[in-house]
């Protein structure tokens, strides 16, 4: 019924893939998403909750346990003498056929509804994991830029210190160099903290407990070493390629709308059930009546009289919920259409920004090359040359931030559609 956990062979393959990860070997997308499903607390809870609700419904559909009823007393025989009488009956509380049919129908609808809901939750978990991993890779790019910038300023600071000691640089200029170095170091530390947090969540998502421990005195060396880094094959930043018409077609079979439609059907079935199940306390039984002078069979029926408005109110309750679900589906469909249009526009706008930023980076890279030549020929100062370098590195970080925003919008679009784009599962 539900997409279960990996089987024994799958578990072995997954374990092997994750062991490979611990030795800096990239893992496949399939192994990555299997690990996500296996280690997602929300998925585990949802699966257990769905199974619990279905078993509860099956219990409701079942007959109540039969019971025995024994009465003892005294009766007069034909001669007018009192004698002991014992009546033993076996009583049943059956589900009437017209009720049982609707109960089974409700169960089938709930099974389909919960199955679709679990698949949707699993897809949303995959989308979230994909966004997390891409955020991690882009933050690694930012971290490497921050490391390079810190290294550059440290190197220039050493040169400035030598010039200060030689008397060829003022104390003011040296302090300015030192401030720039400290700013670069702070930026690296801030990015490092972000990277460690993303790495922590990834390790939890993949179940990599042993891989998480880092020597606090060697964070710079160990944060991206073979034991702690996470690399997934063929899971890279990419633009979304989907036409609006294709997105609209996907919304026609949206899992959100399917789940709401099934919910409405179940409410309607329960309304019919409330109308028919007016004899829920109906009982029948049979047995024997024994006395010293005679034996006989005995039947007993217990028939409720549905003269109160209880079932009428129950029917109205379910019809109200049915109407609400139908309207909720209509509103949800409109909201999904508006969201898809907006996210597609945002993605196109952000893509244009990224492409323009890439051109900007190339221009600033050319300026750095020209600035290096000018600095070496003493046509510009070291401060001006470092300004070119800073501007170039700032542009790379801005590009990474723009890509982070892009994958955020991309994830929102995928969540709206209820499936990953270009990642069939």
Q: How many whole angstroms separate alpha carbon 333 and alpha carbon 252?
A: 9
Residue 353 has pLDDT above 80, yes or no: yes
The domain segmentation of the chain, as residue ranges, is 8-65+96-279+309-417
Which residues lie below 8 Å from residue 395, measured CB to CB, with a gap of 6+?
Answer: 357, 360, 361, 364
- Average pLDDT of the chain? 87
Neighbour-count burial of 230, counting CB atoms closer than 10 A to its CB (0-12 exposed, 13-18 middle, 19+ buried): buried
| Predicted confidence (pLDDT) per residue in 147-189, tens digit | 999 998 999 899 889 989 998 888 988 998 899 899 999 999 9
| Predicted confidence (pLDDT) per residue in 376-403, tens digit | 898 988 888 888 999 999 999 999 999 9
CB 247 within 8 A of CB 344: yes
| Predicted confidence (pLDDT) per residue in 238-260, tens digit | 999 999 999 999 999 999 999 99
> pTM of the entire structure?
0.83
Q: Could you confirm whether domain 8-65+96-279+309-417 is CATH 1.20.1600.10?
A: yes
Question: Alpha helix (H) ranges present in 253-381?
Answer: 255-276, 310-376
CB 113 within 8 A of CB 263: yes
SS3 assignment, position 239: coil
């Amino acid at each position: 019924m539900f997409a279960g956990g990996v089987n024994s062979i799958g578990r072995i393959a997954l374990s092997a893939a994750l062991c490979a990860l611990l030795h800096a070997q990239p893992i496949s997308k399939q192994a990555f998403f299997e690990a996500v499903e296996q280690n997602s607390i929300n998925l585990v809870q949802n699966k257990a909750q769905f199974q619990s609700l279905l078993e509860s419904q099956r219990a409701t559909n079942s007959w109540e346990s039969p019971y025995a009823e024994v009465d003892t007393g005294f009766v007069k025989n034909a001669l007018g003498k009192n004698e002991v009488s014992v009546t033993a009956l076996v009583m049943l509380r059956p589900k009437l056929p017209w009720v049982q049919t609707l109960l089974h129908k409700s169960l089938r609808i709930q099974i389909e509804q919960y199955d679709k809901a679990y698949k949707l939750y699993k897809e949303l978990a995959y989308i979230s994991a994909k966004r997390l991993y891409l955020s991690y890779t882009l933050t690694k790019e930012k971290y490497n830029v921050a490391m390079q910038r810190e290294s550059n300023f440290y190197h220039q600071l050493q040169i400035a210190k030598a010039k200060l000691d030689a008397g060829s640089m003022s104390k003011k200029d040296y302090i300015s160099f030192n401030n720039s170095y400290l700013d670069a170091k702070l930026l690296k530390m801030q990015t490092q903290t972000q990277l460690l947090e993303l790495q922590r969540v990834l390790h939890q998502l993949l179940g990599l407990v042993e891989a998480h421990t880092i020597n606090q005195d060697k964070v710079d060396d160990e944060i991206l070493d073979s034991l702690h880094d996470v690399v997934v094959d063929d899971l890279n930043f990419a633009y979304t390629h989907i036409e609006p018409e294709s997105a609209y077609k996907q919304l026609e079979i949206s899992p959100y709308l399917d789940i709401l439609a099934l919910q409405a059907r179940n409410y309607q079935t329960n309304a019919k059930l409330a109308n028919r199940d007016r004899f829920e306390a109906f009982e029948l039984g049979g047995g024997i009546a024994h006395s010293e002078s005679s034996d006989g069979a005995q039947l007993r029926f217990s028939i409720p009289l549905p003269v109160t408005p209880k079932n009428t109110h129950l029917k109205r309750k379910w019809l109200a919920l049915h109407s609400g679900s139908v309207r909720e589906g209509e509103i949800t469909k409109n909201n999904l259409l508006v969201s898809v249009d907006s996210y597609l526009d945002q993605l196109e706008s952000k893509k244009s920004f990224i492409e323009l930023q890439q051109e900007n980076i190339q221009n600033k890279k050319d300026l750095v090359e020209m600035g290096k030549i000018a600095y070496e020929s003493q046509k510009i100062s070291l401060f001006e040359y470092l300004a070119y370098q800073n501007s170039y590195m700032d542009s790379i970080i801005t590009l990474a931030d723009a890509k982070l925003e892009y994958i955020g919008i991309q994830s929102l679009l995928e969540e709206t559609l209820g499936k990953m784009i270009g990642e069939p599962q």
